[in-house]
Amino acid sequence: MKILNDLLNLLFPITCAACGNVLMKNERVICLTCNYYLPRTNFHLERDNPVAVIFWGRVKIENATAFYYFNKASRYRHLIHELKYRGRKDIGLELGRIFGYEMMVSPGFRLIDLVLPVPLHKKKLIKRGFNQSECIARGISEAMNKPLDTLSVIRTVYSDTQTRKTRYDRWLNVDGIFRVSDQTVLSGKHILLVDDVVTTGATIEACASEILKVEGTKVSVAVLAMA
Ligand SMILES: [Zn+2]
């Protein structure tokens, strides 16, 4: 099998998802150089950071962070697009892992109990085939050694694409779209809510608010990229 793998790699080399260079044997998904230059926010090291601020006065979030800055001009621009629309689940998984390892140094994140991706509606899940946030959450869960929960919260309303809407419209559009399906699993837990990107924070706010209705829960937020 190893020989077959080596041969396949020779014929169809695995390339870095960011820069396109051929990956070395010890590299996964993105090369070491791209990993090194990834525009990290390091928000997990400062409590009052720009992601945390998004939720101030809206919903009580213990800690919030984003892994990197989503910059349209950078070579990292298409990573999320590849993950979301071209089914590159490995990108979510691997970036989630790196992100997870980094969050482990932060006391605020280290003590979470569960990793929970923002769920997609069943219809959308069928259409896309997978939940991109779940891939990221799976990587985080692996790196932080915390259980992944993809069942306790469900998305009950199928909302249309959210582009070109005002914040208020989006808020109307997402309010009440999530439902907790299993209170016992979440009760008393500190939940790390995971999403791919954060822009207005409306979806995360709606999901967190629903979780916080369960007794004794706390919510922290980790998104892969910040626009
Ligand atoms: Zn690269």
Query: What percent of the chain stands above pLDDT 90?
Result: 77
Segment 134-158 mean pLDDT = 96
Residue 68 in contact with residue 37, Cβ under 8 Å?
Answer: no
Query: What percent of the chain stands above pLDDT 70?
Result: 92
Residue 179 is which amino acid? R
Centre of ligand 1 to C-alpha 29, Å, is 8
Return the pLDDT at 157.
Answer: 85
Q: pLDDT, tens digit, for every residue of 43-91?
A: 999 999 999 999 999 999 999 999 999 887 788 988 999 999 999 999 9
Return the pLDDT at 161.
Answer: 56
Segment 105-117 mean pLDDT = 96
**pLDDT band of 138, cuts 50, 70, 90:** very high
Distance CA 50, CA 144 (A): 23
Across the chain, mean pLDDT equals 91
Return the pLDDT at 225.
Answer: 95
Return the pLDDT at 28.
Answer: 94
**With 60 as the cut, is the pLDDT of residue 200 above it?**
yes
Q: Which of 83, 78, 8, 75 is nearest to 39 (CA)?
A: 75
Centre of ligand 1 to C-alpha 202, Å, is 33
Return the pLDDT at 170.
Answer: 58
Return the pLDDT at 167.
Answer: 61
Centre of ligand 1 to C-alpha 13, Å, is 13
Centre of ligand 1 to C-alpha 28, Å, is 10
CA geometry: angle 94, 98, 100, nearest 5 deg: 110
Residues with CB under 5 A from ligand 1 (ion): 16, 18-19, 31, 34
Centre of ligand 1 to C-alpha 15, Å, is 8
Return the pLDDT at 64.
Answer: 98
Centre of ligand 1 to C-alpha 38, Å, is 10
Residue 156: CA atoms inside 13 Å, Cβ hemisphere, count? Answer: 12
Return the pLDDT at 158.
Answer: 82
Return the pLDDT at 75.
Answer: 85
Residue 19 in contact with residue 37, Cβ under 8 Å?
Answer: no
